[in-house]
Structure 1
Amino acid sequence: MTAAVPRPSRVVAARSGAVAGLLLLLVALLLVPATPAAAHAVLVSSSPAASAVVPEAPAQVVITFSEGVRKVPGKVRVIAPDGSRADRGEPTFQGAEVTIPVDPAAGRGTYLVSYRVISADSHPVSGAFTYSVGAPSEPPTDSGSDNRANLVTENAVKVAKFAGYTGLLLLVGPALVLAALWPRRLSRRGPARLAWTGLGVLAAATIAEVWLQVPYVNGGGLFDVTGSGLSDVLGSAYGTTHLVRLGLLAAAAFLLRPLFAGPIGRTDGIILAVLGGAALFTWPLAGHAAASPAPAVSVVVDAVHLGGMAVWLGGLVMLTVFLLRRADERELDAILPIWSRWAALAVTALLLAGTVQGLIEVAGVQALFGTTYGRLLLAKIVLFALVIGVAAYSRALVRRRVAAGRPGSMRRAVVAELVITAVVLGVSATLVQTTPARTAAADVAGTEQGYFSTTLSSPIYSLEVQLDPAETGNNSIHLYAYTKDNRPQPVQEWKVTAALPSAGIEPITVPLLPLSDNHATGEVNLPARGDWQVRITVRTSDIDQATVTATVPIK
Structure 2
Amino acid sequence: MSVANRRWFTRLTVAAGLLVAVVALLIAPAGPARAHAVLVSSSPVASAVVPSGPAEVVLTFSESVRKVPGKIRVIAPDGSRADRGEPSFSGGVVTIQVDPAGGRGTYLVSYRVISADSHPVSGAFTYSVGAPSTPPVDSGDDSRADPVVGNAVKVAKYVGYVGLLLLVGPAMVLAVLWPRRLPRRGPARLAWAGLGLVALATVANVLLQVPYTAGGGVFDVTGEGLSAVLGSTFGAAHLVRLGLLAAAAFLLRPVLAGPVGRADLVILGILGTAALLTWPLAGHPAASPAPAVSVVVDAVHLGSMAVWLGGLVMLAGFLLRRADERELDAILPIWSRWAALAVSALLLAGTVQALIEVATPAALVDTTYGRLLLGKIGLFVLVIAVAAYSRQLVRRRTAAGRPTSMRRAVWAELAITAVVLGLTATLVQTTPARTAGSDVAGGSPGYFSTTLTSPIYSLQVELDPAERGNNTVHFYAYTKDNRPQPVVEWRATAALPSAGIEPIEVPLLPLTDNHATGEINLPAAGEWQLRVTVRTSDIDQATVTATVPIR
* TM-score in terms of structure 2 length: 0.80
* Shift in CA distance, 332/469, structure 1 to aligned 2, threshold 3 Å: closer
Whether 1:379 and 2:375 are equivalent positions in the alignment is: yes
Question: Which residue of the partner structure matches residue 395 of structure 2?
Answer: 399
1:361 maps to 357
| Cα distance, 1:223 vs structure 2 | 1.6
Note if 1:317 corresponds to 2:313. yes
In the TM superposition, residue 193 of structure 1 has moved relative to its aligned partner by 0.4
Greater CA drift, 436-445 or 401-410: 436-445
**SS of corresponding position for 1:365:** coil
Q: 1:144 aligns with which of 140, 143, 146?
A: 140
Bigger shift: 71-80 or 29-38?
29-38
SS at match of 1:281: helix
- SS of the aligned residue for 1:28 comes to helix
**Alpha-carbon shift at residue 420 of structure 1 (Å):** 0.9
Aligned to 1:416: 412
In structure 2, the residue matched to 1:37 is 33
Q: Which runs of 5+ in 2 are unaligned?
A: 448-463, 471-495, 501-521, 529-548
Q: Secondary structure at the match of 1:413?
A: helix
Alignment partner, residue 102 of structure 1: 98
Distance in 2 separating the partners of 1:415 and 1:325? 13
Deviations 1:118-137 (Å, cap 9, x if unpaired)? 11111211111222233333
Counterpart check, 1:62 vs 2:55: no
Q: Does 1:128 align with 2:129?
A: no
Q: Out of 255, 260, 279, which is 2:256 matched to?
A: 260
User: What amino acid is the match of 1:278?
Assistant: A
Residue 46 (structure 1) aligns with? 42
Select which of 65, 80, 89 maps to 1:93. Answer: 89
Please give the secondary structure, in 2, of the residue aligned with 1:313: helix
> Structure 2 residue aligned with 1:158, among 133, 136, 154?
154
Q: Residue 44 of structure 1 contacts residue 444 of structure 1 at CA under 8 Å; is this kept in 2?
A: yes
Q: How far 1:404 sits from its partner (Å)?
A: 0.8
- Code of the aligned partner of 1:60: E
Cα RMSD (Å) = 2.9
1:211-231: per-residue Cα shift (whole Å, max 9, x none)?
111122111212212222222
Q: Give the TM-score normalised by structure 1.
A: 0.79
Mapping of residues 182-331 of structure 1, within 5 Å: 182-331=178-327
Aligned to 1:487: none
How far residue 446 of structure 1 moved from its aligned partner, in angstroms, is 11
Instruction: Tell me the distance in 1 between the aligned counterparts of 2:445 and 2:49.
Output: 22
For 1:36 and 1:143, locate their aligned partners in 2 and report how far apart those are by CA, in whole Å.
34
SS at match of 1:129: strand
Q: Does 1:339 align with 2:335?
A: yes
Q: Does the residue aligned with 2:141 lie in a helix, a strand or coil?
A: coil
Check conservation: 2:437, 2:445, Cα contact below 8 A: no
* Structure 2 SS opposite 1:88: coil
- The equivalent residue for 2:504 is none
Show the counterpart of 1:114: 110
Is the contact between residue 393 and residue 413 of structure 1 (CA under 8 Å) also seen in structure 2?
A: yes
Q: CA deviation at 1:100?
A: 0.9
CA displacement at 1:259 relative to structure 2: 0.9
Aligned partners of 2:444 and 2:467 also within 8 Å? no
Q: Which structure: larger Rg?
A: 1
Letter in 2 for 1:19: A
Structure 2 matches for 1:457-496, cutoff 5 A? none
Structure 1: distance between partners of 2:397 and 2:109: 68
- The answer to whether the Cα contact below 8 Å between 2:21 and 2:239 also exists between their aligned partners in 1 is no
CA contact (8 A) 1:53 1:135 kept: yes
Q: For 1:175-186, what aligned pairs fall within 5 Å after superposition?
A: 175-186=171-182
Q: Is the 8 A contact 2:366 2:446 kept in 1?
A: no
- Displacement of 1:501 in angstroms is 12
The structure-2 alpha-carbon separation of the partners of 1:26 and 1:325, relative to structure 1 and needing over 3 Å to count, comes to same
The one-character-per-residue Cα deviations of 1:129-176 (angstroms, maximum 9, x if unpaired) are 222233333322211113321111221111111111111110000000
The whole-number CA distance in structure 1 between the counterparts of 2:158 and 2:429 is 11
What's the CA shift for 1:109? 2.7
Are the aligned partners of 1:387 and 1:421 in contact in 2 as well (CA < 8 Å)?
yes
The answer on whether the counterparts of 2:143 and 2:216 sit within 8 Å (CA) in structure 1 is: no
> Number of paired residues?
470
Question: 2 CA distance for matches of 1:48 and 1:470?
Answer: 25
Q: For the residues of structure 2 that align with 1:253 and 1:52, how far apart are their CA atoms? A: 60
SS of the equivalent of 1:116 reads strand
